[in-house]
Chains A and B, each alone.
Chain A
Amino acid sequence: MKRVLLAVLPVVMFAAGAEAELVGAPIPIGVGVAQTSNVALFGQEQIIGAKIAEKYFNKQGVNGTPIKLVTQDTGGDEAGAINAFQNLISKEKVVGIVGPTLSQQAFGADPVANRLKVPVIGPSNTAKGIPQIGEFIGRVSAPVAKVAPYAVKQAMKQNPNIKRVAVLYAQNDAFSSSETVTFQETVKNLKLEMVTLQKFMTTDTDFTTQATAVLGANVDLAIISGLAADGGNLVKQLRQLGYKGIIIGGNGFNTANLFPVCGKNCDGILVAQAYSPEANNPTNKAFVADYRATYKKDPPQFSAQAFTAVQLFVEGLRKVEAATKKKITQLDLSVVRTELNKALREGSYITPLGEIALDKEGEINQKTFYVSEIKMDAGGKVGKFVIVK
C-alpha cells in the first residue's frame, strides 16, 4: 500500500502543480479604462488617480508584497472593453479589475469578468443595475439617484420661494438621461412644479430653442444634465439671453473643463458632488497633496474614485492574507480572485470619498455627499468649486 502511495504521490503533485496557477509578484491589478476615443478625457483622469494609488499603497504593499497596475485601453465602445477585460484576465492574470469608464461598456464587459469569476470595481459606472450584473461586480461610484437630490435641496435653501422649475438634459448621453429622471423625481417630491422639459444633444452648439423655452416659462430654477462642452454652452446662452434664476448642474458639470466654456457665466452654478478635495481624512489628504504636487490643481472626482477602487483591492488583498494566513503569491489565482471578492464586501474603508463600504451586492454605501458652488474670478477665466455648507 505504501509503495503504491509513493508511486502515485509524485504524479498527483505534478498534476496539482500543473493545474494551480499562482499569483504573480508584484501582484497585478488591472485597470481597463478609456485612454482613447471621446471618453478618454475621463479615462485619463482615472489613470492618474489609479497611478497615485499604486505609488501610495506600495509604500507598504500587501504586507510587503508590492502591487503592479496593468493598464489596458478599452476605447469608447463595448467591444473594446470586452477585449481589454479578456486581455487583463487571461493574459495579464490580474487579481481584479478597475473599470470600465462608461456604464454602457460595463454592461458589455462586466458579464465576461463575472463569468470568469474575476472581481470588478467600477470607478465611474453610475447607471442603475451595474452591481446587479453579477456577484463579482461592484462599484465605488454612487448611483445618480443618491447624489442628485442634494443640489436641489441646497437651491431651496438659497431661495425658499422657488416654485417653477425647468429641467434640461442631453438625450444621447446615458448618464444625463438617467440623472434627469432623478432630478425630475426630486422636483416632484419637493412639491415644486416642473413647467418645461427640454432635450438637447451633447454635440449641439446652439441652444437658442431651449433657452427661449426656459425664459418663456418664467422659471426660478433650471436643472441641467449634460456634459462639460454642451452644458457650459447652454449655461452661457441662458445667461446671455437674460436668465436670472439659480442653475443646478448635473454630475457632468463636475469638472474644471467647464470653466473655459461658460467663463464668467459659470458663476453660481450649484453642483452636487460625490467627492470633495476638502474631505478631512488622512487618505484624502495624502491623495490631494500628491495630485497637487504634479498637476498644480485640485484632483477631480474621476481620479478620486479610481484611487478608491485601487485602495479597495489593496485593502481587500490584505484581508485575504489575514484570513488565509498565507502570502497572496503563494495562493492559487482563482482562489485569490474569489476570496478577494468576498473580502471587498466586508468592513468599511476610509477613502478620499470619505468612509465607504460595499454591500453584499457590490453597491457602494457612501456616507457623505457635497454641494459646491462654482466661483469664477473677475476675469472669468479661472474658477473653482467651493463647498456650500
Chain B
Amino acid sequence: MDQFLQNYGFLLVTLVQQSLLAYSLYFPLMAGQLSLASPGFYALGGYIAAIMATAEYFAPWRDALGWGIFPLGWLAAGIISGILALLVGIPALRLRGIYLALATIAFVEILRVICLNLAITGGAIGIFGIPQLFESRWSYIWTFGPLLLLILCFSYRLDRSRVGRAFKAIREDELAADAMGINPTRYKVLAFVIGAVLAGVVGAMSAPFLNTWNARQGTFDASIAYLAYVLIGGSRSMWGPLLGGIMLSALPEILRPLKDARLIINGLVLVFASIYLPQGIVGAVGSIRNFTTQTLGIGRSEK
C-alpha cells in the first residue's frame, strides 16, 4: 500500500485537483454560461498562496501562524478571486455564448501578461521553493479530498435548492426565466463567482503541492482541458465533472507505457467521446437506463 501511494499518490491527488477545477467550470455552465475564466482564478489563487508562503513581507505572519498560513492563504485566495469575479462578471456576463467565452479567454490572457511582468510574481520563472504542508505528495489528499467532498455536498444541495433551479431555468431559457421573476444577471454573476472562488482556492492549495508557481499555470490550454472534463463527463449531472476530470486526467498517465502513442489514443478518446456521447458519460449512462426500462421493460415494475 505504501509503495502504491509512493508511485501513484501524486497522480491520485492530481485527479481530485483536476475534478475540482472541472467543478469550477460546471457551476457557470449550470446557469448556461460558457465561461473559460477558471484557469485565471486558479493562477491567481496559486500566486496569492505562493506569495504569502515565500515573500519577505509575510515573514512575521508565517512565524506567528505556523502552518495556519496555509488555510489563511486559501481564504485570501477565495475572497480575492470572489471580489475579482464580481468586478469582471457584472460587465462580462452581459455577453452571451461564444462572446462570453472569448471575453473570459481575454481575461485569462490579461492576468497572465500581468503576472509575467510583475516583480512580486517572479516574472517568467515564477515563484519557487514554496514551503510544504506535508512531506509526501499523496498526503495532499487531506487538503483536496475534503474540499471535493464539500463541493459534492454543495452541488447536491444546490441541485435541489431555489438557486439551483433558478440556474437551470436560466440555462434552459433566459427570457422565460426573467419573465418568471428570476433576476438573470444576479444568478449568472452568482454562478460565475462560485466557480471563481472554487478555482482560486484550488490554486492556493496547488501551489505547495506543485512546489513552484509560474505564469504557465492556468493558460488557455488548461481552459480547454477543464471544458473537456465537464462536457465529456456530462454537464447536466453533478457527477459529470468528477467522472470527466478523473478519467481524462488519468488517461495520459495510465497510457504512459505506450510512450509516443499515448497522446494519439488520448486524442482519439476525446474525439469519439464528443461524437458518440453528446450528453457526456453520465448522460449516456442515463439514456441506456431509459432505453432498458422503456423499450425493453427491464427493471420497470409491472402495473
Residues of A within 8 A of B (CB): 35-36, 72-73, 76-79, 82-83, 86-87, 90-91, 103-104, 107-112, 115, 127-129, 133, 171-178
Answer whether A115 and B135 are a contact pair too, CB < 8 Å, given A90-B3, A129-B129, A174-B125: yes
Residues of chain A contacted by B124 (CB below 8 angstroms): 171-178
Answer whether A86 and B7 are a contact pair too, CB < 8 Å, given A107-B211, A171-B117: yes
Known: A103-B125, A174-B126. 18 other contacts (CB 8 A): A73-B256, A78-B216, A79-B210, A82-B10, A82-B210, A82-B211, A83-B11, A83-B256, A86-B9, A107-B129, A107-B212, A110-B211, A112-B211, A115-B136, A171-B123, A174-B123, A177-B116, A177-B123
**CA–CA, A329 and B192, complex, Å:** 58
Residues of B within 8 A of A (CB): 3, 6-7, 9-11, 14, 112-113, 116-117, 123-126, 128-129, 132, 135-137, 210-212, 214-217, 253, 256, 259-260, 263
Residues of chain A contacted by B126 (CB below 8 angstroms): 104, 107, 174
**Is A178 touching B137 in the complex (CB atoms < 8 A)?**
no
Q: Indicate which residue in A35, A171, A176 contacts B260 across the interface (CB closer than 8 Å).
A: A35
Q: Indicate which residue in A36, A76, A174 contacts B214 across the interface (CB closer than 8 Å).
A: A174
CB of B300 to closest CB in A, whole Å: 46
Going nearest first, the 5 A-B pairs with the smallest beta carbon separation are A107-B128, A107-B212, A174-B124, A177-B124, A90-B6
**Is A171 touching B14 in the complex (CB atoms < 8 A)?**
no
A-B contact count (CB 8 A): 94
CB of B214 to closest CB in A, whole Å: 5
Closest residue of B by beta carbon distance from A199: B117
**Is B125 touching A108 in the complex (CB atoms < 8 A)?**
no
**Is A72 touching B211 in the complex (CB atoms < 8 A)?**
no
CB of A113 to closest CB in B, whole Å: 11
Residues of chain A contacted by B263 (CB below 8 angstroms): 36
**Is A78 touching B125 in the complex (CB atoms < 8 A)?**
no
**CA–CA, A35 and B216, complex, Å:** 18
**Is A72 touching B256 in the complex (CB atoms < 8 A)?**
yes
**CA–CA, A90 and B138, complex, Å:** 14
CB of B171 to closest CB in A, whole Å: 32
**CA–CA, A244 and B11, complex, Å:** 54
**Is A172 touching B11 in the complex (CB atoms < 8 A)?**
no
CB of A314 to closest CB in B, whole Å: 24
Residues of chain A contacted by B6 (CB below 8 angstroms): 86, 90
Answer whether A108 and B212 are a contact pair too, CB < 8 Å, given A90-B6, A115-B135: yes
Residues of chain A contacted by B14 (CB below 8 angstroms): 79, 83
Answer whether A133 and B125 are a contact pair too, CB < 8 Å, given A83-B253, A91-B7: no
Residues of chain B contacted by A76 (CB below 8 angstroms): 216
**Is A104 touching B214 in the complex (CB atoms < 8 A)?**
yes
**Is B7 touching A104 in the complex (CB atoms < 8 A)?**
no
Q: Indicate which residue in B116, B210, B214, B259 contacts A171 across the interface (CB closer than 8 Å).
A: B116
Residues of chain A contacted by B137 (CB below 8 angstroms): 82, 86, 112
Closest residue of B by beta carbon distance from A201: B113
**Is B128 touching A83 in the complex (CB atoms < 8 A)?**
no
**CA–CA, A226 and B132, complex, Å:** 34
Provide 11 A-B residue pairs closer than 8 Å at the C-beta atoms, listed in order of the A residue: A78-B212, A104-B125, A107-B211, A111-B129, A112-B10, A128-B125, A133-B129, A172-B112, A172-B124, A173-B124, A177-B123
**CA–CA, A177 and B116, complex, Å:** 10
**CA–CA, A82 and B7, complex, Å:** 11
